[in-house]
Amino acid sequence: MCRFLFLLSIILIGNSGCTGNNNEQNQDQSRILSAEAAAVLQKLGSLGDRFLVAHQDATSYGVKWNYSEISRNCDIADVCGDYPAGYGFDIGHIELDHTCNLDSVDFSLMKKLIREAHSRGGVITISWHLDNPVSGRQAWDTTRAVARILPGADFYDKYVAWVDKAASFLKDLKDDQGLPIPVFFRPFHEMSGGWFWWGAGHCTPDEYKALWKETASLLVDKHHLTNLIFVYSTDKVPNAKKYLTWYPGDEWVDMIGLDFYDRSGTAFGYTDPLRASLALLREVGIEHRKPYALTETGYETIPDPEWWTGRLLPALRGSGIAWVLIWRNDRPSHHYAPFPGHLSAPDFIKFFEAPETVFEREWTALKQK
Ligand code: BMA
C-alpha cells in the first residue's frame, strides 16, 4: 500500500472510547488503529440493545465434520440458515512454529477462513492459549512464568520471540485490497481464575499488567500492527473492583469482556448470575467508555432443549453487550452450539429470530446504515 493510502487508513484512538450506546470517537491517545478497525469498534458500540452472535471455530470444524473444501462448513449456518456475525479463532501453538493450533486447526487454513469470514462481513476475535514459556508445557500448566518473561528476566528473550511469531501471523491477515483485517485480540483471558499460567495465584496483578502492556507494546510499537483491538476479559467475578484487579489501563484496552459459562445445569443457576455479571460489565464499560461483550459462553452439549431462549437470551436482553461468543463445537461430548438434529436446534432458531440477536446477514445490512 502506498504511504498516502496508509496515512488515510489510520486514525488515532484514545481512552475516551465508546460504551454500549455511545458513539463518541476516541481522540486522546497516540496509538494508531486502522480506519476499518476503528469503524467496527465504533459500530459495535452503537448497537443499542442488539448484539452480534459469534461462534468459536465456526467454519474450522463441527461436531460431525472436519474442514474440507466441499463438505458442510458451519454448524450454526446448517441449523439456522445464516452464518454467525462473529468468528473466534485461537492461535495457541503459533509460538512453537507448529503448523496447527492446539485444537488441530492448520494455521494456513485459519488465515484463509479468517479472510473468508471477513469478506462475508464477519467480525474476527482471536484468543491465544499459549504454552507455558518456562516449563514448555501447555497453557494450563501453572508453573510460575509471568515474572520470568518480563523485561530483564531470564525468559524475556524467549517470550519476545514468541510474540514475534504471533505478530507475523496477525500481520498477514489482510483483505483482498491488502488492508489489515480488524482483529479483536483477547490474550491472557480468564486471569481471575487459577487454571492458566497467567492466572490468579501464579502472578501478582502488577506482573499481569506489566505482561499485558509489554505484549501490546511489542505488537503495536515494535511490529506496527494497526488492526488489533485489545479485549480484556476475566472469568466470573463478584464486583467491579475485583474485575479491575488486573486491568492494565485504558491505553491498552479497547473493549471490556467477560467469560461466563453455564457449568452447572440448574445447580448454581445461570441466568440471574449472568445478568448480574453483565450489569457489572456495563458499569465498567460506561466508566471506562468502552464497548463490552460476553466473550465466551455456552452450556456444554446443551442438554436443556430451551437453553437459548429460556436461559441465555433473558440474561442478554437489555444488557448492552456488543456480542456473545459461543464456544467451540469439537465433538459430541464437547460442543456449545447445536448442529442439525440436536435437541436444542429448534430453540436456537427462535434465538436466531429474536429481534435482539444479529447474525451475518443482518450485521452486513446494519453496517451499511
Ligand atoms: C477449552 C477447551 C479445550 C481447547 C481450548 C482452546 O475451553 O475447548 O478443548 O483446547 O479451549 O480452544
**pLDDT digit string, tens, across residues 319-366:** 999 999 999 999 999 999 999 999 999 999 999 999 999 999 999 999
Closest CA to ligand 1's atom 4: 103
Mean residue pLDDT of the chain comes to 91
The per-residue pLDDT for 369 is 80
The per-residue pLDDT for 24 is 34
Nearest Cα residue to 272 out of 315, 325, 318: 315
Which residues, in sequence order, are CB contacts of 238 under 8 Å at separation 6+?
A: none
The per-residue pLDDT for 2 is 30
Q: How far is the CA of 30 from the centre of ligand 1 (A)?
A: 35
Separation between Cα atoms, residue 81 and residue 75, nearest integer Å = 10
The residue among 242 and 70 whose pLDDT is bigger is 242
Q: How far is the CA of 90 from the centre of ligand 1 (A)?
A: 9
Give Cα separations from 169 to 11, 44, 174, 310, 315 (angstroms): 23, 25, 10, 40, 36
Would you mind telling me the total number of residues written for the chain in this entry?
369
User: CB 353: neighbour CB atoms within 10 A?
Assistant: 11
User: CB 175: neighbour CB atoms within 10 A?
Assistant: 14
pTM over 0.85: yes
Place of cell 480506519: 35
At 269, the pLDDT band (50, 70, 90 cuts) reads confident
If residue 11 lies in a helix (H) or strand (E), which one and from where to where? Answer: strand 10-12
129 ligand 1 Cβ < 6 A: yes
117 ligand 1 Cβ < 6 A: no
> DSSP secondary structure string, 251-284?
GG--EEEEE----STTSS-SHHHHHHHHHHHHHH
User: CB 268: neighbour CB atoms within 10 A?
Assistant: 9
- The whole-number average pLDDT for the span 110-123 is 96
Q: Is the pLDDT of residue 263 over 90?
A: no
The per-residue pLDDT for 69 is 55
Q: Is the pLDDT of residue 18 over 90?
A: no
- The whole-number average pLDDT for the span 182-211 is 98
Q: Most confidently modeled of 1-10, 11-20, 199-208? A: 199-208
The per-residue pLDDT for 265 is 63
Dig out the grid coordinates for 59 from the structure.
467454519
At 10, the pLDDT band (50, 70, 90 cuts) reads very low
At 13, the pLDDT band (50, 70, 90 cuts) reads low
Dig out the grid coordinates for 66 from the structure.
472436519
Q: How far is the CA of 327 from the centre of ligand 1 (A)?
A: 9
Closest CA to ligand 1's atom 10: 103
Separation between Cα atoms, residue 140 and residue 328, nearest integer Å = 18
User: CB 225: neighbour CB atoms within 10 A?
Assistant: 23
Percent of the chain topping pLDDT 90: 85
Closest CA to ligand 1's atom 8: 328
Q: Is the pLDDT of residue 28 over 60?
A: no
> DSSP secondary structure string, 16-53?
S---TT--PPP-S---EEEHHHHHHHHHHTT-TT-EEE
Atom of ligand 1 nearest to the CA of 296: 7
User: Of the residues 56, 233, 328, 330, which should be mutated to test ligand 1's pocket, given the most ligand atoms within 8 Å of the CB?
Assistant: 328
93 ligand 1 Cβ < 6 A: no
Taking the alpha carbons of 286, 290, 296, 302 in that order, is the dihedral positive or negative? positive
Question: With contact defined as beta carbons under 8 Å apart, do 43 and 289 qualify?
Answer: no
Q: How far is the CA of 84 from the centre of ligand 1 (A)?
A: 20
At 114, the pLDDT band (50, 70, 90 cuts) reads very high
Q: Is the pLDDT of residue 25 over 90?
A: no
90 ligand 1 Cβ < 6 A: yes
The per-residue pLDDT for 118 is 97
User: Of the residues 57, 87, 91, 102, which should be mutated to test ligand 1's pocket, given the most ligand atoms within 8 Å of the CB?
Assistant: 102
Q: How far is the CA of 32 from the centre of ligand 1 (A)?
A: 32
At 176, the pLDDT band (50, 70, 90 cuts) reads very high
328 ligand 1 Cβ < 6 A: yes
Q: How far is the CA of 108 from the centre of ligand 1 (A)?
A: 20
Q: How far is the CA of 27 from the centre of ligand 1 (A)?
A: 37
Amino acid, single-letter form, for residue 83: Y
Please tell me the least confidently modeled range out of 7-11, 95-99, 114-118, 123-127: 7-11
Separation between Cα atoms, residue 202 and residue 192, nearest integer Å = 11
Angle at 151 between CA 148 and CA 152, to 5 degrees: 75
At 368, the pLDDT band (50, 70, 90 cuts) reads confident
Closest CA to ligand 1's atom 9: 103
Q: Is the pLDDT of residue 30 over 80?
A: no
Closest CA to ligand 1's atom 7: 327
The per-residue pLDDT for 286 is 96
130 ligand 1 Cβ < 6 A: no
If residue 330 lies in a helix (H) or strand (E), which one and from where to where? Answer: strand 329-331
102 ligand 1 Cβ < 6 A: yes
If residue 9 lies in a helix (H) or strand (E), which one and from where to where? Answer: helix 3-9
Question: With contact defined as beta carbons under 8 Å apart, do 72 and 23 qualify?
Answer: no
Q: Compute, in degrees rounded to 10, the torsion defined by CA atoms 336, 360, 232, 48.
A: -110
The per-residue pLDDT for 275 is 96
Please tell me the least confidently modeled range out of 27-36, 278-287, 325-334, 352-361: 27-36
54 ligand 1 Cβ < 6 A: no
Cα 321 versus chain centre, distance: 13
